[in-house]
């Protein structure tokens, strides 16, 4: 590549990244904006929106609810993904490919349709909207991610180690606990964390399935943004952006783990 072409390539990449990161930067900057009307030019820095956020009971409660739903969905999906992933890799049955493809199915159904379908199933059986329905759709949606990460980890796992443990007298469960699980730990952690984050920030899955008691953070943001947009929602969003960035760097730093790519 000539020098000019190389510079051109870097400039192009820079523009792409300004585009990719730009909106998040705008949100963070505006969350410190002292102006009350929105959008408006920056009128001085303030932390009052963050203080306001802590005092806003609905946002605080919804963050708790999102954390509960995301923890349950990610935990269930990780267990299911571990079990299924182990089965598919250790002794692939006939049609393992087809099963693996089927398991990726939720990725190709629009999330709003997953939520609609659950709403309509509950409706047909006249079941009230509960936390269970919400956790159910979130679990279905995140399971492909936990399964895929477990399968990637297991594909690199040397099953000879299991046989070695067996021959040394370890039982099935002891082998799983002391040999297999520790060695695929990164895949499990990545799957859980990724599933948790995807569930935590998801709006369309929950939109038909929440009631005031089970409103998650994105649902409360959605309701809030219907009536007004102010630096308070920017503050809420900034918290999520910063948390996501922190989680990504922690995983990269501590576990040498990349969630994607």
Partner 1 sequence: MSPAMAARSPASGVPWTTYLALAPAVVVLVLLLVVPLTATVYLSLSPNVLVQFEGPGLDNFAYLFGKPYYVDVLVRTLRISFVTALIVLVVGYPAAYVLKDLSERTGGALIIALTFPILTGPLIIVLGWMILLSDGGPLIRPLVRLGLGGPWRLLGTEAAIVVGLVHFTLPFVVLTIYSSLKQIPNDLVEAARSLGAGAAQVFRRVVWPLSLPGVLSASIIAFSLAASAYVSPHYLGGATRLTLTTLVAQFILATYNGEMAAAAAVVLLAIMAAIIFLFTRAVSRYVR
Which parts of 8-47 interact with partner 1 (CB under 8 A)? Answer: 9-10, 12-13, 16-17, 19-27, 30, 38-41
Choose the binding region for partner 1 from 46-54, 62-70, 179-187, 198-206 (rule: CB under 8 A): 198-206
Interface pick for partner 1 out of 53, 63, 143, 149 (rule CB under 8 A): 143
**Per residue in 10-39, is it b (16+ CB within 10 Å) or e — as a string?**
eeeeeeeeeeeeeebeebbebbbbeeeeee
Residue pointed to by tokens 């102010």: 230
Q: How far apart are CA 199 and CA 55, in angstroms?
A: 25
What is the nearest approach in angstroms of partner 1 to the Cβ of residue 109? 7
Instruction: Considering only CA atoms, give the Rg of the chain.
Output: 22
- 60 or 106: CB nearest partner 1: 106
Q: Is 52 in the site for partner 1 (CB under 8 A)?
A: no
Shortest separation between residue 64's beta carbon and partner 1, angstroms: 18
Determine which residue in the list 7, 18, 51, 96 makes contact with partner 1, applying CB under 8 A.
96
Residue entry with tokens 């605080």: 60
Distance separating alpha carbons of residues 197 and 245, to the nearest angstrom: 11
Least distance in angstroms from the C-beta of 67 to partner 1? 15
Binder of partner 1 out of 105, 171, 182, 212 (CB under 8 A): 105
How far CA 142 is from CA of 47, 69, 177, 241, in Å, comes to 35, 12, 24, 20
Q: Which of 99, 131, 189, 223 binds partner 1 (CB under 8 A)?
A: 99
Burial of residue 113, with CB atoms counted within 10 A of its CB: 0-12 exposed, 13-18 middle, 19 or more buried: exposed
CB of 201 to partner 1, least distance (A): 3
Stretch that binds partner 1, among 43-51, 61-69, 137-145, 163-171 (CB under 8 A): 137-145
Question: Mask 146-185, x = binds partner 1 (CB under 8 A)?
Answer: -x---x---x------------------------------
Q: Which of 125, 110, 67 is nearest to 207 (CA)?
A: 110
CA distance 140 to 156: 26
Strand, helix or coil for residue 45: strand
Instruction: Kindly indicate which of the ranges 46-54, 61-69, 98-106, 163-171 contains the residues binding partner 1, using the contact rule CB under 8 A.
Output: 98-106
144 touches 104 (CB < 8 A): yes
For partner 1, the binding residues in 214-253 under the rule CB under 8 A are 218, 221-222, 225, 229, 233-234, 237, 240-241, 244-245, 247-249, 252
The verdict on 203 binding partner 1 (CB under 8 A) reads: yes
């Amino acid at each position: 590549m000539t020098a000019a072409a190389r510079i051109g390539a870097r400039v192009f990449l820079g523009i792409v990244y300004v585009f990719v990161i730009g909106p998040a930067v705008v949100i963070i900057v505006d969350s410190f904006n002292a102006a009350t009307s929105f959008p408006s030019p920056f009128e001085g820095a303030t932390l009052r929106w963050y203080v306001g956020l802590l005092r806003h009971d609905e946002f605080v409660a919804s963050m708790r609810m999102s954390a509960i739903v995301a923890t349950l969905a990610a935990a269930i999906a990780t267990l299911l993904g571990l079990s299924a992933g182990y089965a598919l890799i250790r002794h692939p049955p006939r049609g393992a490919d087809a099963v693996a493809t089927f398991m990726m199915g939720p990725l190709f159904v629009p999330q709003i349709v997953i939520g609609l379908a659950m709403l309509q199933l509950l409706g047909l059986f006249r079941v009230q909207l509960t936390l269970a329905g919400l956790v159910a759709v979130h679990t279905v949606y995140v399971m492909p991610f936990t399964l895929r990460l477990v399968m990637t980890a297991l594909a690199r796992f040397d099953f000879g180690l299991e046989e070695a443990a067996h021959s040394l007298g370890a039982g099935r469960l002891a082998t799983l606990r002391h040999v297999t699980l520790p060695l695929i730990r990164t895949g499990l952690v990545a799957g859980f964390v990724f599933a948790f984050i995807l569930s935590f920030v998801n709006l369309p899955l929950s939109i038909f399935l929440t009631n005031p008691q089970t409103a998650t953070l994105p649902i409360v943001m959605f309701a809030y943004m219907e009536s007004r947009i102010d630096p308070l929602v920017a503050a809420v969003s900034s918290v999520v952006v910063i948390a996501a960035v922190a989680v990504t760097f922690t995983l990269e730093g501590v576990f040498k783990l990349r969630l994607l790519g």
